Amino acid sequence: MTGPLSKYASLNAFIRARKSKLPSPELLRTIQRSTTIDEVFLHLRSTVFAGIDEIYRKTADIMQVELELTLQEIREHRAVAAHARGAVQKMARALLMRYEIEAVKNVLRLLFDRLIRGRPVADAPPYLLTATIVYPISWSELMHAESFAEVCTMLNHTPYGETIAPHLGAIAANGQLFFCEVALDKLYYRHLLESISRIGGNDKCIAERIIALEIDLKNISRILRMKTYYRLTHEQMIAVLIPGGRFSGKIDMPQAIDRTRVGTVLKDALRAAYPHVAPLLSSSHEHAGDSFSLIDALLEHILDIEAEKLLKGFPFNIGIVLAYSIIYGRLSARVRFLLNAGHYGTFVPQRKERS
């Protein structure tokens, strides 16, 4: 039987070498003091994000830069998977489905604008991800589909076609993609958890704990969206939550649909799932929106701590793959935010330190 040292030695060395090229918290704080996008690019030249400034200089298109950041994430995942073996490699590859599902969602939204709302849409927007990620998909053909049923037919060689098909009636009748997107998210996490289930042992427990945190974050966002834009029964709310989270299963749904109680209900669920953050939830006077922000921030904080703990702790387990994926993705999102702030001139002025 392969031991953890031989199983993860090469992968651990690769990830630690790559992590050393990620922007440090100190560098991110320095970038936040930037006043122009050129300053942001200058600071990123010593990191894995070096070179994206060339795209901006050629196009002046921030969406093209964002596309390149997404492509970099995909390449990074593939590189990690290439250094893994067996079931660990399959799980690393399963993480790639996230990007393909987001690409499918983007196409569906563009088609929704054209087919349902009657808005003109460019044949192939330059920011649309069209690379092969997991399955061979003809993205240009999808963009020219004349119906969502045709989309399902074009995707029948992937799990996406059969996932979208049951929602065709709702798309036409209700004029919304929300429940279709929910189904695609559930597909991703089901696929990922299935790949984790084949690993076994302590690795399986570590991976499930981290993914449960991710699912909880996703579900919090979903509850907020449902509370803001939809009026659903508690059975409908349960149906759209992604299974596998710790926090989500402890929510009192009949109480959660009461808009005046939802903040308190979510705090109670968070205390039950993550007791060590209970002291941070002591305030009981926030508005529901503030409660959502607090809970969302706390879950992100827990996820950050768990990821850093895994990378700094015993290095020969599956946690290093998931931790690096989380840290890289969150840093990439932060870089997007800072580049957009530079592009649109929305940097928040920093207070000068007193001398």
Helical ranges in the chain per DSSP H: 4-19, 25-32, 37-44, 52-59, 62-82, 86-94, 97-115, 139-143, 148-154, 159-164, 168-174, 178-197, 201-229, 234-240, 253-256, 262-273, 288-312, 319-344
Residue scoring higher pLDDT (214 or 348) = 214
The answer to whether position 336 is within a domain reads no
Residue scoring higher pLDDT (263 or 21) = 21
pLDDT digits (tens, 9 = 90+) for 117-134: 888 776 667 778 888 999
The answer to whether position 215 is within a domain reads yes
Mean pLDDT of the chain, nearest integer: 83
C-alpha to C-alpha distance for 273 and 290, rounded to whole angstroms: 20
The answer to whether position 256 is within a domain reads yes
Which pLDDT does position 266 carry in this prediction? 72
pLDDT confidence of 96, banded at 50, 70, 90? very high
The answer to whether position 53 is within a domain reads no
Q: Which domain holds residue 253?
A: 201-317
Which pLDDT does position 12 carry in this prediction? 87
The answer to whether position 283 is within a domain reads yes
**Residues 136-157, mean pLDDT to the nearest whole number:** 93
Closest CA to 134 of 97, 104, 183, 103: 97
Number of domains in the chain: 1
**Residues 6-29, mean pLDDT to the nearest whole number:** 88
The answer to whether position 244 is within a domain reads yes
Taking residue 93's Cβ as centre, other Cβ atoms within 10 Å add up to 17
Which pLDDT does position 228 carry in this prediction? 66
pLDDT digits (tens, 9 = 90+) for 276-333: 766 766 654 454 455 566 666 777 777 777 777 776 666 668 888 998 999 999 999 9
The answer to whether position 217 is within a domain reads yes
Which pLDDT does position 340 carry in this prediction? 93
Which pLDDT does position 79 carry in this prediction? 94
Query: Phi then psi for 198, rounded to 5 degrees?
Result: -85, -5
pLDDT confidence of 9, banded at 50, 70, 90? confident
pLDDT confidence of 246, banded at 50, 70, 90? confident
Which pLDDT does position 288 carry in this prediction? 47
**Residues 142-154, mean pLDDT to the nearest whole number:** 94
Residue scoring higher pLDDT (144 or 287) = 144
Closest CA to 322 of 310, 305, 312: 310
The answer to whether position 248 is within a domain reads yes
Residue the block writes with tokens 């990378």? 311
**Inter-CA distances, 339 with 40, 63, 213, 343, 348, Å:** 7, 10, 28, 6, 13
Which pLDDT does position 262 carry in this prediction? 64
pLDDT digits (tens, 9 = 90+) for 40-90: 999 999 999 998 999 999 999 999 999 999 999 999 999 999 999 888 999
**pLDDT score of 1 more than 80:** no
Which pLDDT does position 351 carry in this prediction? 46
Which pLDDT does position 223 carry in this prediction? 76
pLDDT digits (tens, 9 = 90+) for 332-341: 999 999 999 9
C-alpha to C-alpha distance for 183 and 254, rounded to whole angstroms: 22
Which pLDDT does position 254 carry in this prediction? 63
Which pLDDT does position 112 carry in this prediction? 93
